[in-house]
Structure 1
Amino acid sequence: MRRGTAGADRSVRSRRCPPHQGRGFATSWWGRAWLQALEDTALDGQQLKQGRQLARKGGVGAVSVRPGRITAMVRDRDGTAHRSDVLLQQLGAGAWDRFLDMAVDRAGHIAALLDREMPPHLVEDAAGAGVELLPGIGDLEPECTCGAWDHCPHTGALCYQVARLLDEDPFVLLLMRGRDERRLLDELQVRSAARAIRPGDGGAAEATDDAEREVRGVPAGEAFGAAGILPPLPAPPWPPRRRGLGPSLDTETPPAPGIDPAALEVLAADSAVRAHRMLLDA
């Protein structure tokens, strides 16, 4: 894994949250896991307490999220502004390959992410593939213009604010790990389509062989003599050699409210793969 943005997706998301009025900053289990990593890493709990106060009072400006880094301007109670960054290692190419292979084999994982959920079994399956999605102790590395070498109130406030963003959308975490939502969905769609033409599928090979058999003609005498006999039903058509491609939903017309064309393309591609396999196995 690596830090920074070199060679990675450079998409950036920016969001400003209003002052926090509730008691806790995270309601989702993955948001709480993020804060647990922060609190396990920081050496001075008093610094984090001050950070929570700054976040509650609206001291955190717009949060910029990009691969390997989150950034915001954080204001002290006296109005002094500091640029605060928290770094998180990105996943390497091999780790992303393992994660995508795992996700495409389990349609429930894709559906959960599209529903802005991160079920525990997704994180567990990723860990089983050697991919750690959530940060652990020591993984959240602080940088702040206040000069602190450990987590200070400013980086603490930033992390508490990001926990709120994670509650709303777990794709924020995946962006920090190196993939934005659009790129991730595109790669899942490609891998889902590739499963339909994976080498070694016996059903597909048999269908191809049958489709290429020579069709013999019928002698004219036999055809004339059988003219008054009701012919048998025709044989079912041969299964297609490979599944078709779904229509592109990327049009100039804006989608209706609540409709995510990218998500629909991924689900349609996955459904086509499964339907094709069922047809070959019938």
Structure 2
Amino acid sequence: MTITPTGNGINTSLGDEGLGQQPWWVEQWMELINSYRFKKRLERAWAYAREGHVTSIRFEGRRVHARVQGTGEDPYKVKLWLDVLSDEDWGYVLEALTQKARWSAQLLAGIMPSDIERAFAASGRRLFPFKLQEVRSECSCPDKANPCKHISAVYFLMGERFSEDPFVLFQLRGRTRAKLLEDLAEQRREALEAIAQDEEASPSATSDTSTTLTPPHPAVLDPTLWWRYDAALDGDLVVITPAMEGDTGLDAAGELPLAEEPRFPDAKQQFLAHLRKQGQTLAQQAMLAAMATGG
């Protein structure tokens, strides 16, 4: 991640090559620190993050522990954390997540749904802090301002971690990745079982409830299935073509070190021509075999 100062604060991007913007959840996290009114302090924090003064960052449970080397001999100790949601709050969140299979699929793919705050709104809470003061922090440095430049430097680098794993945000709110997906899968199973029991109790009733909670794709419960495709491929999706000119093995090999007989100056060319002809014949046979199999 590249961090660069701008007129309004600090901007993060994926690199100098212009690979694109950071994920939206990282940008939203960075908007909080950019709202800090002491811009000079942010610039010093950016320099600390860029120059490697943050010697370690550990995500331990619901807190972030870091060491930042300042002007002193020993590095300063930094802690950051968010207010944790209660089990009751998480119950509302999980119930809301259960209603949308899309949310489950995106989270399993490591993508933060753009409307994820709608799920947290059911509990009256938020996933993202609304203002910078909601990010709790401590630093062992003598600076009384909070956030100090050491805390802010860690804050910048936390955005990089969020880019790699958006589940860190859930962890700071009290649910690890494993626990969240486990609870979500259990919640969907219980909801589907309740629907099945209702249908058995009243078989004549129309199953309108099935439209509000569709059965999850098996891959939601078993992520390994995302990487399998057991169905036969549609023939229209398969195109069989001969190798393009210049794509044969002889062309790729380049000049071959074949001996040349003085009595037969064209022997080398004849031999290579024979190999090319033989390769074309075999390629045609392979195409016919593949087309026969596809039919």
| Pairwise same-fold verdict (TM > 0.5) | yes
TM-score of the aligned structures, taking structure 1 as reference length = 0.62
Relative to structure 1, is the Cα distance of residues 206 and 127 closer, same or farther in structure 2, using a 3 angstrom cutoff?
closer
Aligned match for 1:116, one of 110, 115, 131 = 110
- Corresponding residue of 1:103: 97
- Do the aligned residues in 1 keep the contact of 2:55 with 2:68 (CA within 8 Å)? yes
How far residue 179 of structure 1 moved from its aligned partner, in angstroms, is 0.8
CA shift, 1:77, in A, is: 5.8
CA contact (8 A) 1:25 1:161 kept: no
| Greater Rg over alpha carbons, structure | 2
1:32 shift after superposition: 1.6
Which of 37, 44, 69 matches 1:50? 44
Aligned twin of 2:125: 131
Q: Give how far 1:263 is off.
A: 3.3
Code of the residue aligned with 1:263 in structure 2: it is: P
Match of 1:156 among 144, 152, 155: 152
* Structure 2 Cα separation of the partners of residues 264 and 101 of structure 1: 24
Q: Is the 8 A contact 1:35 1:163 kept in 2?
A: yes
CA distance in 1, matches of 2:123, 2:29: 21
For residues 261 and 128 of structure 1, the distance between their equivalents in structure 2, rounded to whole angstroms, comes to 24
Amino acid at match of 2:34: E
Are the structure 2 counterparts of residues 53 and 60 from structure 1 closer, same or farther at C-alpha, using a change threshold of 3 Å? same
In the other structure, the counterpart of 2:171 is: 175
Which of 59, 63, 66 aligns to 1:72? It is 66
Report whether the alignment pairs 1:186 with 2:173.
Answer: no
Which piece of structure 1 moves more, 121-130 or 64-73?
A: 121-130
Q: CA deviation at 1:181?
A: 0.8
Choose between structure 1 and 2 for higher RCO, CA contacts under 8 A separated by at least 6 residues: 1
CA distance, structure 1, for counterparts of residue 79 and residue 194 of structure 2: 44
Cα deviation digits, residues 46-65 of structure 1 (max 9, x gap): 22211111111111123112
Gaps of 5+ in 2: 5-10, 14-21, 204-217, 227-295
Answer whether contact 2:63 2:81 (CA < 8 A) is retained. Answer: yes
Higher share in helix:
2
Equivalent of 2:141 in 140, 146, 161:
146
Partner of 2:209: none
SS at match of 1:184: helix
C-alpha root-mean-square deviation of aligned residues, in Å? 3.0
Q: Identify the match of residue 33 of structure 1 among 14, 28, 35.
A: 28
TM-score, length basis structure 2: 0.59
Q: Equivalents in 2 of 1:147, 1:262: separation in Å? A: 50
Question: What are structure 1's unaligned runs of at least 5 residues?
Answer: 1-19, 208-246, 248-258, 267-282
Counterpart AA for 1:191? Q
Question: SS of the residue aligned with 1:83?
Answer: strand
